[in-house]
Structure 1
């Protein structure tokens, strides 16, 4: 287990919320390895953490995975129509992990799987503006005017999208490839944005979340996120 802040450790043990844990720490009610602790320190499951005579232990190990979701896979733990879900790829993982956010059924690419609810909530909260980058293949040319429209925001059905970044535009024989980075996560947003400017996407892959890139991870495979990658997203374990 990676080291984490003491108040989070207490919360994950189910003893108290993080805020209440911070109060207990400041009141001197928490000991770590026999010493009273009144400030936030980093601990893991090798430390003896106690409140009174109660020893606190986390039953479930926190897991963080980068997964390359194939097309035609539901970003859900189950599906009423019997379609393949992301959960089917993690049936050998001891702990139950779930997807952070969504990725369209007919799109592929990077999605995080975890059992850390705080991590999931942090990434999905709009105020944190975690960037998602997509590689797009589509019919039509990305002109300078269309590029400006996409970057400044387009109407996708009563909603004007926030600013986006467009990179690596290649137009050839009536088709284009391009990368788009957004901080929002509306349903099928990238496809709707391109539809709004008359460009029809036929392949969409998420290639990065924040600074974490999909790299050479093959479709249907996953790997553990490193602590450095987790922290690079702005989240402190």
Structure 2
């Protein structure tokens, strides 16, 4: 027996938080009856679960895929406007979903998996997983603005957000954050008057894409999976 939201995460439908939303929206049924409580417990081997009328199979085997996301590709499982998605780039037999999102025009490290528990922890600020980005700016960055980024800037959230900052050259900066707020890097720099002309995520936790060209992917090694899980207390 397990919670319905965990079942959906393991099946590769969505990460735990997104699975909760699907359930509350009345899109998930168990044995033909709509369920709106994410915490309801089901028999993963006997109960019939559907999402939007489509049957969901229990998939206890986890897969972990590292993708070097190219630009002009959506960090999503599907898209109503027929734009290319990251899931279309990989050929995993199991259903997988991206862990977090990179903007349509942002490239770099992206993890795809059907391990909902790991995905949830990797994205939660509590576990302080480093997300490293390199941004190319429209003009040279001022030293005072580097200090402001380190201390924290306002981007319309409840609290100021900060980053570890390393200046690569006058127009290129590396920023390390733990949160994953929507368009966070671009919003932080925009708050100081800079436009981001190109953005790449170079590292996510221990993961890097040094051996992968844009749109290429590979499975994680057992060691990488163990290190990722260990980093978030699993």
Same-fold status (TM-score > 0.5): yes
C-alpha distance in 1 between matches for 2:118 and 2:154: 31
Alignment of 1:113-192 (within 5 A): 113-171=112-170, 176-192=171-187
Q: Which residue of 2 aligns with 1:85?
A: 85
Cα distance, 1:162–1:228 mapped onto 2, change above 3 Å:
farther
C-alpha distance in 2 between matches for 1:221 and 1:87: 12
C-alpha distance in 1 between matches for 2:172 and 2:159: 23
C-alpha distance in 1 between matches for 2:68 and 2:223: 20
Deviation at 1:66, TM superposition (A): 0.8
Structure with larger Rg? 1
Structure 1 residues without counterparts, runs of 5 or longer: 1-11, 14-57
Deviation at 1:71, TM superposition (A): 0.9
Q: Deviations over 1:63-87 (max 9, x none)?
A: 1111111111111111011101111
Deviation at 1:166, TM superposition (A): 0.6
The SS at the match of 2:185 is helix
Structure 2 residues without counterparts, runs of 5 or longer: 1-9, 12-57
When normalised by structure 1's length, the TM-score is 0.69
Deviation at 1:159, TM superposition (A): 4.2
Q: Deviations over 1:45-96 (max 9, x none)?
A: xxxxxxxxxxxxx954211111111111111111011101111112x32111
1:142/1:169 contact within 8 Å kept: no
* C-alpha RMSD of the superposition: 2.0
The SS at the match of 1:79 is coil
When normalised by structure 2's length, the TM-score is 0.70
C-alpha distance in 2 between matches for 1:147 and 1:168: 8
Alignment coverage as a number of residue pairs: 177
The answer to whether 1:204 aligns with 2:199 is yes
C-alpha distance in 2 between matches for 1:158 and 1:101: 18
Q: Which runs of 4+ in 1 moved over 6 A?
A: none
